[in-house]
Structure formats: C-alpha cells, structure tokens
Amino acid sequence: MPDQALLIVDLQNDFCPGGALAVPEGDQVVAPANRLADAFGCVLQTQDWHPPGHHSFASEHPGKEPMETAQMDYGEQTLWPDHCVQGSEGARFHPDLDTRPTEAIFRKGFRPEIDSYSAFYENDHTTPTGLAGYLRERGTERLFLCGLAADFCVKWSVLDACAEGFETVVVEDATRGIDADGSLEAAWQEMAEAGATFARSEEALEAAG
Ligand code: VGL
Ligand code: ZN
C-alpha cells in the first residue's frame, strides 16, 4: 500500500452555517471527517488564520462588497467578509471535529497582504507553506483531502498536490462548496483535469486499511 495521509482543510466555525463565510452544509463534513481521521495513520489539518484587516477582506477596500474582486500584486483576488480572524471564535475548528488524531496543523493566510487558499502555496503560487516538504520527508505518496471549501481552499490544495506529484484523492462526500457563480461545477472539472481522483468516504476508509 502506498504511504498515505489525510488532509482536513479549514473545517472552522466561520465556514459552517452561522459563520461569517458560511459554506452551505459545511457542518455536514464534520462526521465523515471524524471517521476518516480515526482511520488514517497520518492526519493533517489546515486553519485559515487571518490577522485583523487582512487584505482579502472587502472591508479593507472602500466601495467594495464581499464576493467582488480586487486586483492584487499577484492577480485578481475575490474579496471576502471578515472571517477566520486569528484567535476569534470563527477561526476555531468546528467544536464537534475531533482534532486528537491530527499530527500537524498548517496555518495559512497570516501574511496581511496576501491570501492563501492552497495548503501548499500562497495565492502568489510561489510562497510555500512547507506542506510539500513535510509530506515528502514523511514518505507520503497518496494524499486524501476533505473539508472546506470545495471550490476554493480544497480545490487549490488539490491542484497543487497534483502538481507536486502526490497521488491525490478528493473525498467527495466530505467536502462542500461556496458555489459563487458556478465555481463548484468548475472546481470538480479542474480537479479532474489536474489528475485528481474522487472517492466516497467508505472507499477512502477502506483504502486507509
Ligand atoms: C476559504 C475563502 C477565503 C476556504 C478561505 O477555506 O475555502 N475561502 N478563505
Ligand atoms: Zn480566508
């Protein structure tokens, strides 16, 4: 069996119903994520972790509303409601998520001027988080991903995981999308084109052994 790991992306209060940037049914991901975390030998998490006044917040751009875009040094950036502010309740993991099996938590989005969707690179696509090196040093060949949001942080993590040469599997019933302007449908297609495969959690649990 290839050496494998599970990455749970941004399963935080602000991305769940009632949160600042709620993903529809985001909380439904918690139960399958817990089952997966219990089964995998190596479990990692990401945590969206923005300083107050982060540049991706629409509130920092006078005249702009959340979900509009702005031009940044590194290209076009979607503007979001203030969310996942460092140390806030919204930045905490969902209270029902069992984080005990988690070995390492990679925080991202903590540089004030640059957003970070992917678990591997910031949105400039060049500043690494160290996750690729961590996985390589551990000998990981296959990476399973779940969490939020399917069309943003999960998608960009999946595309980078494929580009970094990991066999990449999206656990399709353990993720949900924001779906801004058809972004969810596009995300499934982009992930498939990048070479990712898709599995139901039962299949992922079987693969975890
Ligand atoms: C995310 C938008 C802004 C995500 C994070 O976790 O998908 N989306 N920050
Ligand atoms: Zn964010």
Tell me the C-alpha distance between 52 and 79, whole Å. 14
Average pLDDT, the chain: 97
Q: Is residue 67 one of the residues assigned to a domain?
A: no
Rounded to the nearest angstrom, the distance between the alpha carbon of 1 and the centre of ligand 2 is 35
Q: Is residue 73 one of the residues assigned to a domain?
A: no
pLDDT over 90 at 135, yes or no: yes
pLDDT over 90 at 186, yes or no: yes
- Domain range enclosing 188: 4-52+85-208
pLDDT at 189: 98
Q: Is residue 191 one of the residues assigned to a domain?
A: yes
Q: Which ligand gives the minimal distance to the CA of 50?
A: 2
pLDDT at 180: 87
pLDDT over 80 at 188, yes or no: yes
Q: Is residue 89 one of the residues assigned to a domain?
A: yes
pLDDT over 90 at 1, yes or no: no
Query: H or E element: which one contains 33?
Result: helix 30-39
Q: Is residue 71 one of the residues assigned to a domain?
A: no
Q: Atom of ligand 1 at shortest distance to CA of 10?
A: 6
Q: Whose CA is nearest to atom 4 of ligand 1?
A: 153
Q: Is residue 79 one of the residues assigned to a domain?
A: no
Q: Atom of ligand 1 at shortest distance to CA of 151?
A: 7
DSSP string, 83-136: --BTTSGGGSBPTT---TTEEEEEEE--STT----SSSB-TTS-SB-SHHHHHH
- CATH number of the domain to which 194 belongs: 3.40.50.850
The model carries a pTM of: 0.98
Count structural domains, the chain. Answer: 1
